[in-house]
Amino acid sequence: MKKFFFVLALIGSSFSSYANETFFRLGAYIDTYYTNDDDKNLYDVFGEHPKRKLSSINNLKDRFALNIAYLSLKVNNNDFRSTLGLQAGDIPDNIYFEEPKIIQQANIGVRLFGPLWLDGGYFTTPIGVETTHPRNNYLSTHSMVTYYQPTYHSGLKLSYQFNDNICAEAYLVNGNHLFKDNNEQKSFMWSLNYVTKKGDFTFSYNGIAGNEEKAEDKPKLHALHNFYVIAKVYKDLELKAQFDFATKEDAVEKKENKVETAYYFGSFFQAKYNVMDKLNLSARVSNFDDGDNLYLTNISGID
| Residues whose CB falls within 8 Å of the CB of residue 269, separated by 6 or more in sequence, listed in order | 239, 240, 241, 284, 285, 286
CA distance 264 to 295: 8
CA distance 101 to 161: 31
First to last CA, the chain: 20
Q: Tens of pLDDT along 33-62?
A: 887 766 655 544 334 555 555 565 555 667
CA distance 122 to 130: 19
| Residue 267 CB coordination number (10 Å) | 18
CA distance 43 to 97: 22
Question: 298 falls in which pLDDT band (50, 70, 90)?
Answer: low
CA distance 179 to 123: 9
Q: Tens of pLDDT along 105-136?
A: 999 999 999 999 999 999 999 999 999 888 89
Residue 264 confidence (pLDDT) above 90: yes
Helix-strand-coil split of the chain, %, nearest 5: 5, 60, 35
Model-level pTM? 0.86
Residue (of 286, 283, 270) closest to 232 by Cα position? 270
Residue 181 confidence (pLDDT) above 50: yes
CA distance 111 to 39: 54
Amino acid identity, residue 297?
T
